[in-house]
Amino acid sequence: MPAQPNKPQPAQSKAPQRSLLARFAIPVLGIAAIAGAFFAAPLLNIETPPPAVAQPATQQQAINRPGLSGEDFSALSKRLMPSVVNISTRQTVARGDGLPAFGPNSPLNEFNDLLGRGQGGLRRQSSLGSGFIIDASGYVVTNNHVIDGADEIDVNLSDGTVLPAKLIGKDEDVDLALLKVESRSALTPVPWANSDTADVGQWVIAIGNPFGLGGTVTAGIISARNRDISAGSYDDFIQTDAAINKGNSGGPLFNLRGEVVGINTAIISPGEAGGSVGVGFSVPANFAKVVIEQLRKSGQTNRGTMGITARSVDQPLAEAYGLKSPSGAIVTSVAKGGAAEAAGIKVGDLITTLNNQAIKESRDLFRIMGVTQVGAQVSVRYIRNGKQGAATVKLTGATAAAAKPAERDVAKELTNILGIKFKAIEDTDRRRRGIPASVRGVIVQSIETGSDALGKLPIGSVVTEVHFQPVSSPEQAIAAAESAKRASKPVLLQVWGEGEVTYVAVRAR
């Protein structure tokens, strides 16, 4: 099971859990320890490096890319540094043992702050992160977890200027926030890149505030695209091996043209130190800039939804729908009165494209809706009962239930019928199992040894459809299953339980 990302903990909070996946803002107390160790260390005798070995012309041409000077990143870094900022926050937290403060004349008075005594047991704490300027008028982008819960936010420019910041808006689902500062001197913004054109293997550089050290430049490549790290419903991260650490949160990942291709958000890191092992993740610019623009206009996101939950497709399910390989998302519920219902979308539809974009898995649905505003009309193509269908859906406002994909592992959906004994639903079954009168189907009474349904279909399940055919008797269920078998397809079962619909694909014996 994938590790869950840890939000930055306050300086006096409990120790972080041992998790490989971490968000990386840094408590300010960590800086003193690092800085102290640094300045106490003896000076090192650094030898002059040997002359660089001349490189072949083809390799030289590969290094001299736009934005670079010679064979290094110095010119690009110098140009971009003024656009990257350090974010510092402070907040009031409750801490202490509940005892009164030591008196002003007590020799222990200096420990009042450390123990959280006095002032009602409240104390101030700080944390650090990174950000970047996107507009000369003072708009600054960072991660939500950098500023979450802060009473005060300061933006520290590369020239040492400290500006108080106002929170314009934040999006917890995508972990982004937009700040605004007022500056007497000119600010240097950076442009967004088209992250869709960013390829694996391309050079990128990260600039940020790791461990509170201030503007730090690291370089690497894009290691992978479209990463799902189970951080949320809209996971579509760019993976990079550029070194990013605690304190880099909210900082930019640049391409060699000096454009922001991503926003550094999380890392994979063993142990509690949170150091870089070359596996970092960034929110793609094309997704981020839509969210940021919405925050800029209204202070909140205006994310549309169809009012559905959906799940991804595996090989047996794909075959049951007539596909050669897994792709698309099966609709498992449709909100009553929602946009999908109004457009005629039904439970069991396998959505193949949304807004002319191919759907490979269920998270693609929600990622596309995540950058599409309320009121927009989107085209939907789907497969229903083996036939192609199309609809136009006018997106409505997102709700907590509909905004997230329902990737439920409850029934490992696979459908088949031979080897399964069914029984008709009786009144006693409805009373004992809470089956509404509106639900028609058959109950799974037993599953024979050797049936593909073993471990997939719980005993007592209510099967309402077999291979797209509504059933209300064991005979109907078996007949529909045999029809699927003759077509050399897995048998698709629609299963009702506790008010929800799931799907199970079972191969016939």
Residue written as tokens 């926030």?
177
Q: Confirm whether 159 is a catalytic residue.
A: no
User: What is the C-alpha separation between 416 and 409, in angstroms, rounded?
Assistant: 18
Looking at 175, 241, 349, 364, which residue is catalytic?
175
User: Which of helix, strand or coil describes residue 138?
Assistant: coil
Burial of 167 (0-12, 13-18, 19+ CB in 10 A): middle
CA-wise closest residue to 370 among 462, 291, 281: 291
Largest Cα span, the chain: 92
Q: SS3 for 88?
A: strand
- Our measurement of the distance from residue 12's CA atom to the centroid of its chain's CA atoms, rounded to an integer in Å, reads 27
Q: How far is CA 211 from the centre of its chain?
A: 24
Tokens of 440: 């028609």
- DSSP state at residue 373: B
Q: Would the CA dihedral through 406, 327, 263, 368 be positive or negative?
A: negative
* DSSP state letters, 394-428: E-EE--TTTSS-----SS------TTEEEEE--HH
Chain position carrying tokens 């609809």? 391
> Which helix (H) or strand (E) is 397 found in, with range?
strand 396-397
How far out from the chain centre does Cα 131 lie?
A: 19
Name the active-site residue from 126, 145, 173, 269.
Answer: 145
The reply to whether 145 belongs to the active site is yes
Residue tagged active-site, from 83, 126, 233, 249: 249
Query: How far apart are the C-alpha atoms of 404 and 314, rounded to whole Å?
Result: 20
Q: Is 249 among the residues known to form the active site?
A: yes
Structure tokens at 410: 């409850």
Residues contacting 274, CB < 8 A, separation 6+:
22, 24, 245, 246, 267
> Residue 404 corresponds to which amino acid?
K
The amino acid at residue 358 is A
Tokens of 101: 């403060």
Active site residues: 145, 175, 249
